[in-house]
Amino acid sequence: MYRIKIFILTFLIINNTYLAVSQVSITGKIVDDNALPVGLVKITNIKDKTTVVSDIDGTFKLDNIGFYSFEKEGYYEKILEFNKDIFYIVQLNINHSQLNEVVINANQIPKKIKNSTTSINIITSKDILRSNNTDFAPILNRVPGVFMQTGALNTNRITIRGIGSRTPFGTSKIRAYFKDIPLTNGSGETTIEDFELASISRFEIIKGAASSIYGAGLGGIIHLTPQNAYLNNSSFNSELSVGSFGLQKGLLNINHGTTNNGFRAVYSNTQSDGFRENNEYKRQTFTLSSNHFLSKKDELTFLASYVQLKAFIPSSINENAFLNNPKSAAFSWKQSRGFEDSNRGIFGLSWNYQYQSNLKQSTSLFTSFRDAYEPRPFNILKEKTFAVGARSRLLGNFELFSNNMDWTLGGEFFNDTYKYQTFENLYEDFPPETGSVQGNELSNFKEKRNYYNIFAELNYALSEKTTLSLGLNLNQTNYILEDNFLVTSLNSDQSGRFRYKNILSPNIGVSYLISKSISLFSNISHGFSPLSLQETLLPDGQINTNLKPETGWNFEIGTRGSMLNNKLQINTSLYQLNIKNLLVSRRISEDQYIGINAGKTQHHGLELDVNYEWISKEALSITSFLSYSLNNFTFKRFIDDGNDYSGNDLTGVPSNIFNFGIDFDTALGIYGNINYQHVGKMPITDSNNLYTNRYNLTNLKIGHVTNLNKKLKLNIFLGLNNIFEEQYASQILINATGFGGSAPRYYYPGNPINYFTGINLDYKF
C-alpha cells in the first residue's frame, strides 16, 4: 500500500511538472525587419492547429510551448519553436509582391500603405539589389514622380514632382531622414548619395507637400531605413565587385542577434577612376546599428554612420565638348584639379516606451558633423558643420463614437552651426600638374541656423471603409550670420539676422476601401521651402529681408490595391501642385548668386506604378514592374530681369519618364533582371529655346546563388548598364552662363556602356 501511495505521488508530481512546463505562458512582440510593430498576425499552433491573433501593437501570448506559424498579408510566413518562459521578439520579412499590405512608418502614425491618404512608394531591399550597390540614381528613378540627375557619384540633384529642379547644384526643397536623423541641413539642402546603399534596407518616399508631417518639405520626404540587425541570428557577409572605369568595391556586413538584442555593422570601400577626366572617386563608410528590447515596454536603438570621401569634380561642359569629347572635364576644373574632400558623421539614439496598450512615446536625440575642403577654379572653400537636435512624439488611440482614432502629437528641434571660409586659388601661377594652391583668405562666415516643428496628426475611422486624416505643423526658422572677415574700405560687414514668420501647414486626407484589397485616397496639403542665407544676401552684402519662402498647395486623388489574387499591384495618382513666391537664383558672378521671388509655377502630373507576378512556383518565379510619370509643369507667372516666361515649361524637368523591368528567379539559383528607362526631353533654359534630347537606357543583371554547405552561400553576378551605348546628358545645369566669352556649360555626360561583376559570400554561424 505504501508503495502504491509513493507511485501515485510520484506520478502526480511528474504529471503536474509536465503540465506546468507544457503550459508555460509565453509572451512576445511581432515586428518587421525594420523593428516596426506588426499587429493582427495570425499565430497557429502547428500541433493542434489552434490559433490566436496578436494585438494591434504586435504583442501576443501563448499558453503552450511548441512550434507556431506566424502569418499576415504583406509578410512571409515564419515558423518558430518556443520552449522557454521568456519574452520573445518575432521578426517578419516583407513580401515584396504584397507591398500594399505592408505597415509603413514614413507617416507619424504606422499604417498599411493601402490605408494611407498620401502618395507613398516603398523601395525594398529587392529593388536596391536590381542594379549595382554603388549608384542611387537607377533605384530612385524607377519611382514615379522622382527624378535623380547624376553628374558624378558625388554630384546629384533629386527632384520630386518637379520641386528642386531650379537648384543650381545639389538637392533642396525636399527633406530626407536616416531613420529619425535629419539628412537635410539648416538651409534645406539634402545629401543622401554619400551613404552606403548596402546599409539601407528600404526607402519610404512621400510625394507632394508633406509639411504637416516633417516640416519644410515642399516636394516631399525621402525616409531611409537602415538595415537593422536580425535577432537570434549571427552572420557574416562579404562582397567584392569590380567594373568599368576602374571601379573597385569591397563590402563587409556583420550581424549578431540574441533573443532581445541585435547588432549590425557595415563597412564599405569604393574606388573609381570615373568615365571622365578629373573624375576619380574614393569613399569609405562605416555604419553601426543596434536594437535593444529592454523589456515588454522599453525599446532602445542606436545608429551611427561615418563617411570619408575624396571625389574629383569634372563639372559641366559645353555642347561642342558634350557631343564630340564627352570624356573631357571643364578646362578650368581640370587645370585646378578641383575636388571635394569631406568627412561626415551622424549619430542617433532612439527610445520607445509603451505606457499602456494605447499610448506610446518615441524620442530621438541626434547629432551630426561635416568637415569639407573643396578647391574650385574660382576659389577654395573650407566648411565645417555641427548639428544637434531632438524629435519626440506621443502616439495613441481611443474610441470616439464607437470608431477608432489614432493620433500623434510631437515636436522636432534642430540647430546647426555652419562655418565657411573661401581662399584664393593660385593654380594659374603654377605648372598645370600642380593643381590647386591655397592663397589669401577672401571671406569668413559663421551661420547659426535653427528651426522647430510642432506637429499633430490624427486618423479617424469614420466607418469600416472610410478613414479621415488631419494634420497640422507649426514651423519657426531662424538664421544668424556672423561676418568674421577683416572689414576694409573695399567690403562691408555682412553680419545680420534673418527670421521667418511662423508658418502653419495643414493637411487633410481621406481613404476609402472599395473592397478588401482596393482603396481610393485623396488629400489636400500645404508645404513650404526655407531660404538659404546665401540666397538672401544682396550684392552690397546686406540681407534681403523682403524675400519670402516658396509655399505651395498639393491637391491629389489616387487609387492603390491588388487584384487577381494579389498577382497584380497597382498604384496611381493625379495631382496638381501650385507654388507661389517662386525663388530664382540669379547668377551674378562665377561663384555668387542672389535670390529673387519671381512668380508662380503649376505642376500637373499623372503617376502610375504597376507590379505583376507572372509565375510564382518553387522552380521558377517571374515578375515585372512598370512605372510612368507624365509631367506638365509650367510657369504660371514668371518675370525675371524684365523677361516674361509665363506659360513656358518648367526648367530642368523631363516631360515624361517610363520604366519597365522583368525579374526572374529559379530553383537552380540562377536569377536576373532587365530594366528599360525612357526619359523625355527637358527644357534647359527658362526661355525654352533649348531642350535636351530624349534618351533610352537599358540595363541588365544576372547571377547565380548556390549553397556551398548548410552555413555558407555563394552569389556571383554580372551587370551591364546602357547596353545600347546611348549618348545622353545625365544632369544639366539650367540657364548656364558663359564667362570670358566661353560657351555656356549646360551638360554633364552620362556614362557609356559599362559593366560590373562581383562575388558575395554569406556565412551563418
* 250 & 353 share domain: yes
Q: What is the pLDDT of residue 276?
A: 96
| DSSP result, 69-125 | EEE-TTB--EEEEE-SSSEEEEEE-B-GGGGGGSEE-SSSS-EEGGG-SSEEEEE-H
Q: What is the pLDDT of residue 186?
A: 82
Question: What's the N-to-C CA distance of the chain in angstroms?
Answer: 56
CA distance 744 to 317: 8
Between 304 and 547, whose confidence is greater? 304
The mean per-residue pLDDT over the stretch 43-71 comes to 88
CA distance 686 to 708: 59
With cut-offs at 50, 70 and 90, classify the pLDDT of residue 24. low
Residues facing 507 on adjacent strands: 471, 525
Mean pLDDT of the chain: 88
CA distance 360 to 406: 11
Q: What is the pLDDT of residue 107?
A: 52
Cβ-contact 228, 201 below 8 angstroms: yes
Give yes or no for residue 181 having a pLDDT over 90.
Answer: no
List Cβ neighbours of 447 (8 Å cut-off, separation of 6 or more): 186, 187, 417, 418, 419, 420, 479, 480, 481, 482, 533
Q: What is the pLDDT of residue 111?
A: 72
With cut-offs at 50, 70 and 90, classify the pLDDT of residue 140. very high
* 241 & 209 share domain: no
Give yes or no for residue 437 having a pLDDT over 90.
Answer: yes
* 654 & 752 share domain: yes
The mean per-residue pLDDT over the stretch 358-385 comes to 94
Q: For the chain, how many residues are written?
A: 765
Give yes or no for residue 447 having a pLDDT over 60.
Answer: yes
**Lowest pLDDT segment from 20-24, 176-180, 225-229, 475-479:** 20-24
**Structural domain boundaries enclosing 245:** 220-764
Give yes or no for residue 568 having a pLDDT over 70.
Answer: yes
Give yes or no for residue 542 having a pLDDT over 90.
Answer: no
> At 13, is the secondary structure helix, strand, or coil?
helix
The strand ranges marked E within 200-246 are 200-207, 220-226, 234-243
Q: What is the pLDDT of residue 89?
A: 84
Give yes or no for residue 488 having a pLDDT over 60.
Answer: no
| DSSP result, 373-435 | EEE-SS-EEEEEEEEEEEEEEEEEEEEETTEEEEEEEEEEEEEEEEEEEEEEE-GGGS-GGG-
Residue type, position 351, single letter: W
The mean per-residue pLDDT over the stretch 196-208 comes to 90
Q: What is the pLDDT of residue 19?
A: 42
- What is the percent of the chain where pLDDT is above 90? 54
Q: What is the pLDDT of residue 494?
A: 76
Q: How many CA atoms lie within 13 A of 116 on its CB side?
A: 31
CA 8, 10, 15, 16 torsion-angle sign: positive
Q: How many structural domains compose the chain?
A: 3
Give yes or no for residue 12 having a pLDDT over 50.
Answer: no
Maximum alpha-carbon separation in the chain: 117
Give yes or no for residue 539 having a pLDDT over 60.
Answer: no
Q: What is the pLDDT of residue 651?
A: 93
Please report, for residues 22, 501, 505, 676, 716, the alpha-carbon distance to residue 671 in angstroms, rounded to integers and kept in the order given: 44, 55, 47, 18, 10
E strand or H helix at 6, and its extent?
helix 2-22
Instruction: Decide which of 93, 121, 139 is a domain's last residue.
Output: 93
The mean per-residue pLDDT over the stretch 91-96 comes to 80
Give yes or no for residue 4 having a pLDDT over 60.
Answer: no
Q: What is the pLDDT of residue 65?
A: 87
The mean per-residue pLDDT over the stretch 137-159 comes to 94
SS3 annotation, 334-358: HHHCCEEEEEEEEEEEEEEEEEECC
Q: What is the pLDDT of residue 297?
A: 86
> Which grid cell sits at 109?
502614425
CA distance 25 to 23: 6
Instruction: Decide which of 93, 111, 143 is a domain's last residue.
Output: 93
Q: What is the pLDDT of residue 479?
A: 86
Give yes or no for residue 546 having a pLDDT over 90.
Answer: no
The mean per-residue pLDDT over the stretch 667-680 comes to 96
**Lowest pLDDT segment from 243-252, 394-403, 579-588, 754-763:** 579-588
CA distance 455 to 365: 17
* 281 & 142 share domain: no
> Domain with 62 in it: what CATH number?
2.60.40.1120
Q: What is the pLDDT of residue 112?
A: 76
Contacts for 483-491: CB closer than 8 Å, 24+ residues apart: 483/444, 483/445, 483/541, 484/444, 484/445, 484/446, 485/441, 485/442, 485/443, 485/444, 485/445, 491/541
* 474 & 424 share domain: yes
Cβ-contact 121, 207 below 8 angstroms: yes
Predicted confidence (pLDDT) per residue in 257-272, tens digit: 888 898 999 999 999 9
* 538 & 524 share domain: yes
* 351 & 208 share domain: no
* 198 & 236 share domain: no
Instruction: Say what the pTM is.
Output: 0.89
* 534 & 491 share domain: yes
Give yes or no for residue 712 having a pLDDT over 60.
Answer: yes
> Domain with 165 in it: what CATH number?
2.170.130.10
Give yes or no for residue 215 having a pLDDT over 90.
Answer: no
Cβ-contact 378, 366 below 8 angstroms: no
The mean per-residue pLDDT over the stretch 698-703 comes to 97
Give yes or no for residue 499 having a pLDDT over 50.
Answer: yes
With cut-offs at 50, 70 and 90, classify the pLDDT of residue 585. low
With cut-offs at 50, 70 and 90, classify the pLDDT of residue 56. confident
The mean per-residue pLDDT over the stretch 623-648 comes to 91
* 182 & 273 share domain: no
Give the strand pairing for 220-226 and 175-178: parallel
* 482 & 580 share domain: yes
Instruction: Decide which of 72, 93, 114 is a domain's last residue.
Output: 93
* 435 & 536 share domain: yes
Q: Which of 213, 201, 267 lies closest to 240 in space, CA to CA?
A: 267
Q: What is the pLDDT of residue 18?
A: 44
Q: What is the DSSP letter of 20?
A: H
With cut-offs at 50, 70 and 90, classify the pLDDT of residue 105. low
Residues facing 79 on adjacent strands: 69
CA angle (721 as vertex; 617, 628 as ends), nearest 5: 70
> Domain with 449 in it: what CATH number?
2.40.170.20
Predicted confidence (pLDDT) per residue in 296-331, tens digit: 888 899 999 999 999 999 999 999 999 999 999 999
